[in-house]
Structure 1
Amino acid sequence: MGPTATGKSGIALDIAGYLPVEIVSVDSAQVYRHMDIGTAKPDARSMAAVPHHLVDLIDPHEHYSAARFTEHARIAMREITGRGNIPLLVGGTMLYFRALLEGLSPLPAADGGLRTHIEERAEANGWPALHAELQRLDPASAARIRPTDSQRIQRALEVCHLTGKPMSKILDQPRHARFPYHPIRMILNPGDRHMLHRRIAQRFDRMLERGLVDEVRTIRDKFRLNDASPSMRCVGYRQVRMYLDDEVGLEAMRDMAIVATRQLAKRQLTWLRPMKNVQTFDCLEEDLPSQVREYLRNAGLAVRFRSTFNWEEKHERWV
């Protein structure tokens, strides 16, 4: 686990060199097909060398949820262990990790009539006005939801009206879910926040060089996406969409995307901070792969470590 741009995918591939793992993506953006550059999806060589699961599941106009992730992840993990391998969960979508390990909160099912009513009110008054209403009903939820995030405002208000309780209170209730595995939890956490910010900026610049703008243009036109589409709310994609619609210029788009990614990393670190029974590594350490390997060697894994790792040999073995 860890915030964006901490090198989780690289460490996962390194682990695959000495343990019989298959990677399960815990990333709410990598589930979308055709969204490769902006989600930092593993390249073809990595995907061929090590089996990856829960990547490229749906098209950009479709919806995904923590409940669907939990179902798909459990299926993938059963299949992986059935082959005698180890599921290696890798990603930064902390809500998905929490749902899988602790279970889902007892939130009510969606109510079509109530959602339509909320949408009609939003058309008349704007989503910021409904966000102000949410601030009165559920200050904790309003504090973590942007005034323009229509989907999350709608859901939080829906839960308030259906249950008579703030959604934040329901989410804080104890969960009871049996997780039938022994998890070894590792966090990649930057020792220097400024260095992480530099990494974030450099990575987004590489995405632009690789053709992120064309990628967003293609999927937006093909699937007729707009700013309310779930995929277009992903960090980076939202800002490029604004640039394509002439709402901001190129430099402003870049700056906004980098700031939004920093904010995402901050939220991810907030999720991780109270976690217990975890081993934290500084993602900026030069000998990070060796540190992780030594930790896993002593973690009680009942498997033999591979002594060497050859990409070509690995490719042949997996395919």
Structure 2
Amino acid sequence: MTAPLPLSLPALTAPTAAGKTALALRLAQDFPLELVAADAFTVYRGLEIGTAKPTAQERAAAPHHLLDVADVTVNYDVARYVHDAEAAISAVLERGNIPLVVGGTGFYLRALMRGLPLTPPANPAVRAGVEAELERRGLDALLADMAATDPQEAARMERNPRRVVRALEVFRQTGRYPGSFGHSAPRFRFQVFAFTRPGPELEDRMARRVRVMLARGWPQEAAWLAGQVDPATLPRPTAWQALGYTEALAVHRGELSPGAAAEQVVLASRQYAKRQLTFARTQLGAAPTTPETAESALRAHLTAWLTAGG
């Protein structure tokens, strides 16, 4: 790609179950779009039902990228995502189409927008020590250690065990947390379009989707995942951090009824949606609007892109 882009690349984000894919596919009917996923779990082969991965029919309606690019045994991370996403975006632009980044994984979007942290490479020996400490002392104890030296960094972890392990690994090597190292220069500029739905409507959509997913075989999919990756491993494997798989596995094992599992997953989804909206506002600079407003704004942006590019 030698010519400068006419506008910032568009990215679309919304809370889980809000309807991101449906909106993107409507736009793809009218614009030469290729969709680049920004989702930490649809990257995994075999996680179809529980991730609400686009169906074969949806994929036929518009080209999709960064689906099914990793085995569940791999801890696919944000650095690999940025590398893969930037390569996909470049290829879309070379074909003369418009890449639309679509997804709800905020830290993937942030990394595309800001670049990757310039933290030192992994040190397996130090990491193993932190992992052993996590198993012995627990997540709360490690977070308390972090909070004693940097409360903001501890809060930034969002109780994610893998992020805590990495942060403490870096701190024990350098005396600094990852947030203090700065970022590489991003390859592209982005404009993020965010939307949501009224709370009751969004929760109803979550509940309906979870019930359908459980009925379609999510418990069996979770059992398959448990056969590939032990969910008891600490820090928890990335694939097992996907929302609802623990509850779906409990249904398969007879430890939870489908109704009780659905209630727990919907509660967790509602809490996650709140974090997604906060992240969009504070980290991505995108104030969530209504779906209709977001679609209208995106249509205007895409029309301007074609006008400027033509």
Rounded Cα–Cα distance in structure 1 between residues aligned with 2:55 and 2:81: 22
Q: In structure 1, which of residues 31, 34, 57 is the aligned counterpart of residue 69 of structure 2?
A: 57
Which residue is equivalent to 2:307?
302
1:120 matches 2:132: yes
Structure 2 spans left out of the alignment, 5+ residues: 1-12
Say how many residue pairs are matched. Answer: 295
Which residue is equivalent to 1:67?
79
The percent identity for this pair of structures is 34
Q: In structure 2, which of residues 282, 290, 304 is the aligned counterpart of residue 274 of structure 1?
A: 282
Rounded Cα–Cα distance in structure 1 between residues aligned with 2:284 and 2:37: 22
1:187 matches 2:187: no
Contact 2:15 2:277 in 1 (8 A): yes
Q: In structure 1, which of residues 148, 156, 161 is the aligned counterpart of residue 167 of structure 2?
A: 156
Q: CA RMSD in A?
A: 2.7
Shift, 1:113, TM fit: 1.1
Shift, 1:157, TM fit: 1.5
Change (3 A) 1:302 1:278: farther
Matching of residues 195-214 of structure 1 within 5 Å: 195-214=201-220
Contact 2:92 2:98 in 1 (8 A): yes
Shift, 1:69, TM fit: 0.8
* TM-score, normalised via structure 2 length: 0.85
Rounded Cα–Cα distance in structure 1 between residues aligned with 2:252 and 2:156: 27
Which residue is equivalent to 1:43?
55
Change (3 A) 1:129 1:12: same
Q: In structure 1, which of residues 203, 218, 239 is the aligned counterpart of residue 224 of structure 2?
A: 218
Contact 1:33 1:57 in 2 (8 A): yes
Q: State the AA in 2 paired with 1:44.
A: A
1:138 matches 2:145: no
Rounded Cα–Cα distance in structure 2 between residues aligned with 1:142 and 1:243: 33
Change (3 A) 1:134 1:79: same
* TM-score, normalised via structure 1 length: 0.82
Q: State the AA in 2 paired with 1:216.
A: A
Change (3 A) 1:245 1:119: farther
Rounded Cα–Cα distance in structure 2 between residues aligned with 1:70 and 1:293: 23
Rounded Cα–Cα distance in structure 1 between residues aligned with 2:83 and 2:66: 11
Contact 2:72 2:225 in 1 (8 A): yes
Change (3 A) 1:303 1:141: same
Which residue is equivalent to 1:316?
none
Which residue is equivalent to 1:177?
185
Shift, 1:121, TM fit: 2.3
Shift, 1:105, TM fit: 1.5
Structure 1 spans left out of the alignment, 5+ residues: 306-319
Question: What's the secondary structure of 1:273's corresponding residue?
Answer: helix
Shift, 1:130, TM fit: 2.3
Contact 1:137 1:160 in 2 (8 A): no
Shift, 1:278, TM fit: 5.1
Q: In structure 1, which of residues 257, 260, 273 is the aligned counterpart of residue 265 of structure 2?
A: 257
Change (3 A) 1:224 1:272: closer
Question: What's the secondary structure of 1:89's corresponding residue?
Answer: strand
Q: Which stretch shifts more, 151-160 or 205-214? A: 151-160
Shift, 1:201, TM fit: 1.6
Contact 1:102 1:179 in 2 (8 A): no
Contact 1:92 1:268 in 2 (8 A): yes
Rounded Cα–Cα distance in structure 2 between residues aligned with 1:277 and 1:129: 33
Contact 1:38 1:237 in 2 (8 A): yes
